[in-house]
Structure 1
């Protein structure tokens, strides 16, 4: 049995879901394998985010704070940075980190989320991602080389294709594979038990 978690490190709802996902991953029964899949919200872009989109995302942050109390957002991001609708760089950073060891996947995801949501830094910028990699103790030269390499781009495309095959039509998404059958699991942003009961 395999539980796929489709996410994007720059998805604000995934940030809100993080505590529940961590609890689910810890409490999974033996024989259930958890696998993260990068859904890739937005391809590379150097175009500044339009004002209407900035406003919409800020409103989403406010809504999340109401629906999922305790979720932190640093709204200084919107004045300190030049936001772009571009999450693929952050997704590639997760893959580039993994290429130096599977143990770096989760720390890189968290580093990106904290940089974006708490520190008001822009993970759409390679400079930010390189700094995060250095902080995690990754080999900086290799990370910089891997970040935009053809192989990393190909690995991201594979994950995005997998997310579509799994039927993930939003982020986050949970899909359970059992005996070759796939089903989407409902979830609650405040209660891991809802998910664990469905898995059995």
Structure 2
């Protein structure tokens, strides 16, 4: 995944069912708008409980609840806490990641916008974004044909590509979500591990770019 030009590429490693990513996607969207023409943004999806097949245990729900409250306190984003009444929820994030991979292949310019919509659907509206029908309706709001989406979503090729992406993300060391890397002509460097504010992210980008150009 080379750079191919003098413009650096910010690699945002995320997951649509990661609470801190719900908060951080807004930061990345603002950054992209402010740095338009100076910085490319690439979105990759990481393995957060992908392929989980057993319901959440109470201690896992307790940990999630703490994270949700912390994100809400820091970002003021809405959360639907009725989620925690579901006794049988299996926290499998692979379908939502695969749906976003489909979007990135079909309409790459929309990837961040659909990611934001999926975050809101899950956290604010309490929708089940593991469900292919729900995912198809979300992407259709952005002009993507539900039939085209579902054909790609259900293909063996996209499932394999999703596994490969999880592997790549793991190989570059993105074991926390969100994670941010900067790809320059000097290589790839991790600049954030977890949520940070926009001004701090910009400072880290500028520092890496200064070193790359010195």
Secondary structure at the counterpart of residue 81 of structure 2: coil
Q: Match for residue 64 of structure 1?
A: 71
Q: TM-score, normalised by structure 1?
A: 0.87
Q: Deviations over 1:5-35 (max 9, x none)?
A: 1101111110111222112222237443221
- Check 1:187–1:96 CA distance in 2 against 1; reply closer, same or farther (3 A cut): closer
In structure 2, C-alpha distance between the alignment counterparts of 1:134 and 1:81, rounded to whole Å: 30
Aligned equivalent of 1:91, options 72, 92, 97:
97
User: Which shows bigger deviation, 78-87 or 115-124?
Assistant: 78-87
Residues 29 and 112, structure 2, Cα contact 8 Å, conserved in 1: no
Matched residues in 2 for 1:152 and 1:17: separation?
A: 26
Q: What displacement does 1:99 show?
A: 3.3
1-side partners of 2:186 and 2:21: how far apart? 26
Partners in 2 of 1:179 and 1:169 — Cα distance?
24
Identify which range, 162-171 or 112-121, moves more after superposition. 162-171
- Specify the alignment match of 2:153 in structure 1: 147
How many equivalent residue pairs? Answer: 199
Unmatched runs of 5 consecutive residues or more in structure 1 = none
The TM-score normalised by the length of structure 2 is: 0.82
Query: Is the partner of 2:106 in helix, strand or coil?
Result: coil
Change in Cα spacing, 1:81 to 1:90, as seen in structure 2 (3 Å) is farther
Contact 2:178–2:194 (CA under 8 A) maintained in structure 1? no
Q: 2:25 maps to what in 1?
A: 18
Q: Secondary structure at the match of 2:128?
A: coil
Distance 2:192 2:136 in 1: 36
Deviation at 1:56, TM superposition (A): 1.7
1:134 corresponds, among 136, 140, 145, to: 140
Q: Provide Cα deviations, 1:104-161, integer angstroms capped at 9, x if missing partner.
A: 3223212211110111111122232122233333211121121131111122123222
> In structure 2, what is the equivalent of residue 115 of structure 1?
121
Structure 1 equivalent of residue 211 of structure 2: none
Give the secondary-structure state (helix, strand or coil) at the position aligned to 1:176: strand
User: Could you tell me which of 41, 45, 50 is aligned with 1:38?
Assistant: 45
Asked if the contact 2:20–2:194 (Cα under 8 Å) also holds between the matched residues in 1, the reply is no
Alpha-carbon shift at residue 100 of structure 1 (Å): 2.8
> Which runs of 4 or more aligned residues in structure 1 lie more than 4 Å from their structure 2 counterparts after TM superposition?
187-190
Give the CA deviation at 1:190. Answer: 6.0
Residue 174 of structure 1: how far off its partner (Å):
0.7
Secondary structure in 1 aligned to 2:23?
helix
